A = this chain, B = another copy of it.
Amino acid sequence: MSLEFAILGFLNYHPYTGYDLKKIFDGSVRHFWPADQSQIYRTLANLTERSLVQMEKVPQEDRPDRKVYHINDLGRNELRKWVAGPAPLDEPRSAPLIQVFFSGMLTDEEILQKFEGYAEIMRMILARYDQVPDQLGPFQQEITSPREHFFWLLTLENGLVSMRASLAWAESIIERIKSGQVPQK
């Protein structure tokens, strides 16, 4: 479960609450790992039970009390072991490609519309990539090291090059459709 390692990774920078972590995920890694609030809390509870982190309760006056989580040495060792380890098996599924696969049953007009829709979504996603650096928010405090910044940018870069390749693919298909290169029914 990679969420647990992402959480450990962030706690290795600084102790955080579940609420902090949600904001940090949204600001730094959402482009390749969106984190659900429920899952964050569940994972923190699980990490605590397995003694990879410690929870410190911090009373507040005008707001609910905070539960700040601290990584410990065991957690740190597990994190390092995983980060240094082999690439996790990664077999992503793409539901849009199932649609593409069975597109032959549609009219050429419908297919053209479909690919124009895909291309539009991809452009929006690419535009979102441009905004990621502006949304770091609280995590900006942690990426002060040029080294951390470098690796974070690499994840952005990967998203960008993949999405650009997919957009070029979609645009090329749109051209092929328009120039009548799709075999007829």
Residues of A within 8 A of B (CB): 2, 5-6, 9, 12, 28-29, 32-34, 79-80, 82-88, 90-106, 110, 114, 117-118, 121, 145-152, 154-155, 157-158, 161-162, 164-166, 168-169, 173, 182-185
| Residues of chain B lying within 8 A (CB to CB) of residue A105 | 12, 79-80, 83
With A32-B94, A98-B6, A145-B183 as known contacts, state yes or no: A104 contacts B151, CB within 8 Å: yes
Complex Cα gap A88–B97 (Å): 10
With A2-B95, A96-B87 as known contacts, state yes or no: A103 contacts B151, CB within 8 Å: yes
What are 21 inter-chain pairs, A to B, with CB distance below 8 A? A2-B98, A9-B101, A12-B105, A28-B101, A32-B92, A32-B98, A33-B94, A33-B97, A34-B91, A79-B105, A83-B103, A83-B106, A90-B95, A90-B96, A92-B94, A97-B158, A147-B183, A158-B166, A161-B169, A162-B166, A164-B165
| Residues of chain B lying within 8 A (CB to CB) of residue A95 | 2, 87-88, 90
Complex Cα gap A173–B158 (Å): 11
**B152→A101 contact, CB < 8 A:** yes
Among residues of B, the one whose C-beta sits closest to the C-beta of A101 is: B155
Q: A79-B102, A82-B99, A85-B99 are in contact. List 20 more A-B contacts (CB 8 A).
A: A5-B98, A9-B98, A28-B101, A32-B93, A32-B97, A33-B93, A80-B106, A83-B106, A86-B117, A87-B96, A87-B99, A90-B95, A92-B93, A101-B151, A103-B151, A147-B185, A150-B182, A154-B169, A162-B162, A165-B165
Among residues of B, the one whose C-beta sits closest to the C-beta of A87 is: B96
